[in-house]
Amino acid sequence: MLPTNISLNNKTVLVTGAAGFIGANLVKELFRSIPAVKVVGLDNMNDYYDVSIKEYRLHEIEVLASEHSTSTWEFVQGSIADRDLVEDLFHKHKFAVVVNLAAQAGVRYSIDHPDVYIESNLIGFYNILEACRHNPVEHLVYASSSSVYGSNTKVPYSTEDKADSPVSLYAATKKSNELLAHAYSKLYNIPATGLRFFTVYGPAGRPDIAYFSFTNKLLKGETIEIFNYGNCMRDFTYVDDIVEGVKRVMLRAPEKQQGADGLPIPPHKVYNIGNSNPENLMDFVQILSDELKTSGVLPGDYDLESHCRLVPMQPGDVVATYADTQALEADMGFKPDTSLREGLRRFAQWYRNFYNT
């Protein structure tokens, strides 16, 4: 395992996408685990999905922050695509570590709304890189995605594999982030680590992700569509496992080194964070149904089969996702291990309480 070379105690951390699913959970974990830390959260609070869930997450952060008198929380509503805002924040706070989780998410949404992906995922990330260049940071950690593996057929997906065949604009923007970060690391010696997340789920997650949208539809008695006639595999990763992986990576920046030519060897790495246990979609739907019944969201006699429809593959989708996490285990001493049933149980309990079903 790599030694920690960064301390977050008494440091200032920027988390972009702080009202997002992973961002909000990361901020809460920093307050719980770091004795004294200042966290600045940036989020544009767009309405891609229900803003009330983002507001719920921010409220949870505020409550937790108020319980830790040695730490501080500052939230800024704005976009990473606003270069002046980003530059002002970096100049004002002198961030030690930056975690860029802000992005326009969603594979299918990118097919019909490409502009927002270019603005947030490319221009916005470029602004973050430029700010790190002119305001040196100890470590830039940024979100990539398992989507970068595109049409790869070799599984499990390894970071050593080529990832140059994206099947969606979203995936292309995430791969572009990795290339841009690598170039900036080489040119300006910026320690940077990209994280390829695999199908993140859990309480207060994104309503556009299958487990959440399926729940909404089943509760209304609507029919859910299961792509590729149910013959898809997904490496579902519980959000707490994702956050633990991100936190460990934050503390271990790639070391700066000089090459034989006297120029920096790019201090840049990429890791997969996934559960390494892909689940068949039909099994996933059955487990979700079981836990929704147990939690009381759905009645015990709910007829799941009559509310499922098998449909062909959709543009931008892939048949399977499966993470090879050997590098994460070796370098960070961590392997995600929350079972799908346990994770969906926690989601179902949260859903019941949040929506008062």
Q: Which of 117, 142, 170, 238 is catalytic?
A: 170
- 199 closest CA partner among 134, 89, 112, 276: 276
**Rounded distance between C-alpha atoms, residue 162 and residue 253, angstroms:** 23
E strands, the chain, are 11-16, 37-43, 72-77, 97-100, 139-145, 192-197, 200-201, 224-226, 233-234, 237-238, 257-258, 264-265, 268-273, 279-280, 308-310
Per the annotation, the verdict on 170 as an active-site residue is yes
Q: What angle do CA 106, 315, 124 make, to 5 degrees?
A: 30
- Check if the beta carbon of residue 157 is closer than 8 Å to that of residue 321: yes
**Rounded distance between C-alpha atoms, residue 63 and residue 81, angstroms:** 29
Q: Which two tokens stand for residue 105?
A: 């998410």
Catalytic residue numbers? 170
